Amino acid sequence: MYSTEKLKAELNNEQFQAVTSTEGYVRVIAGAGSGKTRALTSRYAYIIGALGISSSNILCVTFTNKAAREMRIRVKKLIGGNSDLGYITTYHGFCVRILREDINKISYPKNFIIMDVEDQKTVLRDIYRELGITSKELTFKQVLRFISRQKTQLHYLEYILDSKKNKSKDKIDKIFIRYLEKQQRNFALDFDDLINFTLYILAKYPDTLLKWQKRLHYILVDETQDSSDKQFKLVELLSRFHKNLFVVGDPDQTIYEWRGAKPEILVNFDKTYPDSKTIVMNQNYRSTPNILSLGNHIIKNNKIRVAKDMFTQNPEGVEVIHFHAQNDNEEGLWVATEIKKLVYEDNCKYSDFAILYRANYISRNIEQSFIRENIPYSVFGGIRFFERKEIKDVLAYLRLIEFEDDFSFLRVVNVPSRGLGKRFIQNVAEIAEKDNVSLYQALKTNVSRKGLNRKGAIEFIELIESKRKIKDSISVSDLIKEIMDESGLSGYYRLDGDTDRLENVKELQNSIITQENNTEENFTLTEYLQEIALYTDMDIDDNRNDRVKLMTIHTSKGLEFPHVFLCGFTEGILPSAMSIKERGKKAIEEERRLTYVAITRAEKAFYMTDSEGFNFSTGSNKYPSRFLFEISDNFFVRKGKLSQDIIDEAKKKFQLELNGLPKPKSFKLKDLVHHPIWGYGKVIEINLDREEYLIDFEKTGKTKPINFYFRGLSSAKD
Ligand code: ATP
Ligand code: MG
């Protein structure tokens, strides 16, 4: 039962205000670790416990699936019982809830498919084949970026929904149109569509909007600084009836500006809602004073920010350490040794440690040293696991059983090999096109026909049909087991010689079994697939065992760990090469905020490491991050050998970049150019991604990539 005394004991005064000011528009702005999420969670429980409102009338938006899951666990602890906590979710998750209920308004079936990046690529692969385009002309990445850009506006919906055909000669436009057609035929929505379709329906159908507005008496949003315009528009729209909107966030932790985050929404909330209330919290409960002051001093270098005054009453603790290694091997080894020391001598658990990095590829080095040193670890981050081939295969079988969609069909019809090659698939595709049905239906209906009546095809259809019959009467984990055994996948992976693959599938099964054991109600295959589809790069729950956790800084948002290592704290990694190249202050400021997020995850100890050597990804020598030189050495202890030469070189390099790189040379294809060493040559390719010209040199007869910024290159005519 709810008790004010208990609440007061657990919260400070500002938090208490945040929890109990339930009516109207309320904003909490506060630094990392000040208890924003704790206040938000308590408020949720308070609305239920003290006000008697049902959880089905409260929307609580968090940033990741993992955060939502953690919030549900915390709320369960606070309120007990079996309330439906389905509205504690992410923006995407909530859009799916609305769409599953109301997408039929626009004549889409309620069991529409959600596409992830891999599905998008599968579609593109088809389109490339159909249109005869090669990945040399346009990479998938370029096309996906284009598609996403097109979808920032809602115009494309008219094309999908009203079939306003528009023909285009432009290659990328053509791909986009084909992509939309395929989406429509499969009733498949990608991530951008989820919010777009939702906003479209709410705008077009006032009765639907009113239904949702009336239903949601209270709306709570965590990590508001990273909400995009559209996302905020959604909650703002929904709050217009009851007018109870509670937003919390920290502008210094905005790390998704590159993806449309608008911290201004939070900063200007008081102007948007003049009657709103603002609560500021300044006490940090998470970190030691050393960690907090390092974070504060780094973020102070940002020009675009609202100054904050954080303090903590936590005990002094140990000093922050910067370790500079001679090479990445040494960096990894140092981290491993340090962790082992703390585990053996200080009684720490492996799960007390988190390794954070800016770029995914940094994990390789750390992983290798952990394997060598026998340190148990797991890589935290959904897509990495779910992108593994074997996981995608198993899930595609599940999806085919449930949804009959073309993507899944294409993925598994010949995996393991059933002798159904390209020609065979082509035949099926032609029938599907003609009859306007899914590929699976086309094959199923015509499998006895000449040309299609292959043994492999018949067996495949039999397998899927038999699983469809039992899918609702057995658990998802059992279904996977049967598929693995009966489809031949088990044998296929074993044959592959790759035990990792089987282990990964086992891991998938285990995770489902754990989930099945944890929930009282059994979840259906549909529900499971929905949940899986929502996993993004940033979240998979994997803390069942005592392991060190590896993750990107983005993934670590909102989380906390006793000991944190920030690895690869190297110029070109953090700040990223891309942000340096952009040269705008804005990009570097976001990198600084990322650094701030990393530092403020730590409770007891914080370590930063970097190493010398060559960085193949940036194509230059490695130096410690510029952020390390922005703060005084008093804030940390340096270990490892960092020579004055390296410091001088690094500083010179930053200075050069601060003053701006030389203007890039702009040559066109087939231009004749002159190089100081190789003489005359011709531009035969321009690589925008790498910012290089490919030049065919006459004298040597060799082709060399030359950087856009290389001063020595001149026009042959000059
Ligand atoms: P972030 O900005 O990183 O998301 P946050 O502001 O959401 O941080 P929380 O995660 O809610 O902070 O809290 C940080 C830590 O401080 C948690 O371990 C939380 O339990 C603890 N904490 C918060 N408020 C109090 C309090 N009043 N008394 C004791 N501990 C608290
Ligand atoms: Mg938080």
Q: Is residue 317 left, alpha or beta, with left meaning phi > 0 and alpha meaning psi from -120 to 50?
A: left
Lowest mean pLDDT among 179-183, 346-350, 508-512, 704-708: 508-512
Interval 600-658: pLDDT, tens: 999 999 999 999 887 655 667 889 999 998 888 889 999 999 999 888 888 888 776 66
pLDDT for residue 169 is more than 90: no
Percentages of the chain per state (helix, strand, coil), in multiples of 5:
50, 15, 35
Residue nearest to atom 19 of ligand 1 (CA): 35
Angle between helices 91-102 and 525-534 (to 10 degrees): 140
Which span out of 168-172, 504-508, 591-595 was modeled with the highest average pLDDT?
Answer: 591-595
Q: Which ligand is nearest to the CA of 39?
A: 1
Task: Indicate the pairing of strand 561-566 with strand 602-611.
Answer: parallel
Q: Report the atom number in ligand 1 closest to the C-alpha of 600.
A: 3
Pocket test for ligand 1, best of 37, 75, 600 (most atoms within 8 A of CB): 37
pLDDT range class, residue 502, cuts 50, 70, 90: confident
Proximal ligand: closest to the CA of 287: 1
pTM of the entire predicted model:
0.73
Mean pLDDT on 71-92:
84
Q: Which residues lie below 8 Å from residue 399, measured CB to CB, with a gap of 6+?
A: 113, 405, 407, 408, 529
Contact 87, 60 (CB under 8 A): yes
Of 643 and 304, the structure prediction assigns the larger pLDDT to 643
Task: Say if residues 220 and 43 touch (Cβ distance below 8 Å).
Answer: yes
Q: Going by CA atoms, what residue is nearest to atom 31 of ligand 1?
A: 285
pLDDT-derived band at 541 (thresholds 50, 70, 90) equals very low
What distance in angstroms lies between residue 577's CA and the mean position of ligand 1's atoms?
A: 33
- State the Cα–Cα distance between residues 395 and 427, nearest whole angstrom: 25
Nearest partner of 404 among 376, 368, 443, judged by Cα: 443
Per-residue pLDDT, 536: 32
pLDDT category at 206 given cuts 50, 70, 90 is very high
> How many CA atoms are closer than 13 Å to the CA of 608, on its beta-carbon side?
27
Cα-to-centroid distance, 344 and ligand 2 (Å): 32
In our burial notation (b when 16+ CB lie closer than 10 A, e otherwise), range 238-272 reads: bbeebebbbbbbbbbbbbbbeeebbbebbbebeee
Q: What does the block give as tokens for 698?
A: 């006459």
Mean pLDDT, residues 367-373: 77
Greatest mean pLDDT range, 200-214, 411-425, 584-598, 604-618? 200-214
- In whole angstroms, what is the distance from residue 92 CA to residue 195 CA? 7
What's the pLDDT tens digit per position in 428-443?
Answer: 999 999 999 999 999 9
Share of the chain above pLDDT 70, in %: 89
Which one-letter DSSP state was computed for residue 555? H
Q: Is 60 exceeded by the pLDDT of residue 538?
A: no
Determine the Cα–Cα distance for residues 17 and 43; give it in Å rounded to an integer: 10
The pLDDT of residue 657 is: 67
**Residue 36 Cα to ligand 2 middle (Å):** 5
pLDDT band at 675 (very low <50, low <70, confident <90, very high): confident
pLDDT in tens, 238-282: 999 999 999 999 999 999 988 888 999 999 999 999 999 999 999
Structure tokens at 379: 């890589």
Q: Whose CA is nearest to atom 8 of ligand 1?
A: 33
Q: What is the DSSP string of 1-15?
A: ---HHHHHHHS-HHH
What is the number of the ligand closest to the CA of 31?
A: 1
- 273: Cβ contacts below 8 Å, ≥ 6 apart: 25
Distance in Å, CA 263 to ligand 2 centroid: 15
Which letter does DSSP use for residue 361 in this model? Answer: T
pLDDT at 540 over 50: no
Please report the pLDDT score of residue 285 as a whole number: 97
Question: Residue 67: pLDDT band by 50, 70, 90 thresholds?
Answer: confident
Mean pLDDT over 118-129 rounds to: 85
C-alpha of residue 19 to centroid of ligand 1, in Å: 14
**How much is the pLDDT for 616?**
56
C-alpha–C-alpha distance, residues 566 and 459, integer Å = 52
CA-proximal residue: ligand 1, atom 1 (nearest): 32
Q: What is the pLDDT of residue 495?
A: 59
Confidence of residue 231 (pLDDT cuts 50, 70, 90): very high
Residue ranges of the binding site for ATP: 30-37
Which residues does the annotation place in the binding site?
Answer: 30-37
Provide the annotated active-site residues. Answer: 36-37, 222-223, 253, 601
Task: Specify the range with the lowest mean pLDDT, choosing from 69-83, 162-176, 424-438.
Answer: 162-176
Distance in angstroms (rounded) separating the CA atoms of residues 401 and 353: 40
Q: Where are the alpha helices (DSSP H) in 60-114?
A: 65-79, 91-102
- Strands in 692-697's sheet, in edge-to-edge order, are 703-707, 692-697, 679-687, 672-675, 714-715
Pair of tokens at residue 377: 């670890």
Nearest CA to ligand 1 atom 23: 35
Residue 141's CB: how many other CB atoms inside 10 A? 11
Residue nearest atom 25 of ligand 1, based on CA coordinates: 35
The mean pLDDT value for 441-463 works out to 93
Burial class (CB in 10 A: 0-12, 13-18, 19+), 103: buried
| CA 676 to the chain's CA centroid | 45
Please tell me the number of the ligand nearest to residue 28's CA.
Answer: 1
Atom of ligand 1 nearest to the CA of 15: 27
Q: Give the whole-angstrom CA distance, residue 654 versus residue 299.
A: 18
Lining residues, ligand 1, CB within 6 Å: 11-12, 15, 30, 32-38, 250, 253, 285-286, 558, 560, 600
Q: How far is the CA of 33 from the centre of ligand 1 (A)?
A: 5
Q: Decide if pLDDT at 299 tops 70.
A: yes
Tokens representing residue 360 in the block: 């995914």
Residue-level pLDDT at 701: 82
Asked if residue 97 has pLDDT above 80, the reply is yes
Tell which atom from ligand 1 comes closest to the C-alpha of 12. 27
Which of helix, strand or coil describes residue 564? Answer: strand
- What pairing do the DSSP bridges indicate for beta strands 311-312 and 283-284? parallel
d(CA 52, CA 512): 34
The residue whose CA has the least distance to atom 13 of ligand 1 is 35
Ligand 2 centre and the CA of 11: distance in Å? 15
pLDDT-based confidence at residue 25 (cuts at 50, 70, 90): very high
Residue owning the nearest CA to atom 24 of ligand 1: 35
Task: Identify which has the larger pLDDT, 694 or 491.
Answer: 694
* Other Cβ atoms within 10 Å of 677 Cβ, number: 9
| Distance from the alpha carbon of residue 354 to the mean position of ligand 2, in angstroms | 17
Question: Of the segments 75-89, 413-427, 608-622, which one has the largest average pLDDT value?
Answer: 413-427
Residues with CB under 5 A from ligand 2 (ion): 36-37, 558
> How high does pLDDT run on average in the chain?
86
Residue 218: predicted pLDDT:
97
Mean pLDDT of 180-201: 93
Band (382; pLDDT cuts 50, 70, 90): very low
Q: What angle do CA 605, 611, 616 make, to 5 degrees?
A: 130
Task: Give me ligand 2 centre to Cα 659, in Å.
Answer: 37
Query: Nearest residue CA, atom 14 of ligand 1?
Result: 33
pLDDT digits (tens, 9 = 90+) for 460-471: 999 999 999 999
Q: Which of 70, 285, 553, 556 to mutate to test the pocket of ligand 1 (most atoms within 8 A of CB)?
A: 285
Radius of gyration in angstroms for the set of CA atoms belonging to the chain, rounded to a whole number: 28
Q: How confident is the model at residue 483 (pLDDT cuts 50, 70, 90)?
A: very high
Q: How many CB atoms lie within 10 A of CB 631?
A: 16
pLDDT of 43 higher than 80: yes
- What per-residue confidence (pLDDT) applies to 212? 97
Question: What ipTM, to 2 d.p.?
Answer: 0.99
Residues 6+ positions from 11 with CB-CB distance below 8 Å: 19, 35, 38, 39, 42
Identify which of 224, 248, 286, 311 to mutate to test ligand 1's pocket (most ligand atoms within 8 A of the CB). Answer: 286
Cβ proximity of 107 and 204 under 8 Å: no
3-class SS letters over 334-352: HHHHHHHHHHHHCCCCHHH
